[in-house]
Amino acid sequence: MNIFVILISLFVALLILIPLLEKYQSKLGLEGAAKYSKYIWPLVMLSLVIQLIYVLLN
């Protein structure tokens, strides 16, 4: 059951992200990538904490 949730969420993320990346690709350069790169580690840590809580509750 969990694999279906993961696959569906990845598919939805791709459906949302691909058009957005194609639309804003020319506007974002290396400056834009550097600006958003500071959010990656906090989001990774947040997802790990959420996954840990999920595992502990089940």
Q: How many domains is the chain built from? A: 1
Give whole-number Cα distances, 3 to 30, 35, 38, in Å: 35, 33, 29
Secondary structure (3-state) at 36: helix
**pTM score, two decimals?**
0.45
Residue type, 2: N
Q: Per-residue pLDDT tens for 7-56?
A: 898 888 888 888 887 777 766 566 666 777 778 888 899 999 999 999 99
Domain that holds residue 46: 2-57
| Amino acid, single-letter form, for residue 38 | K
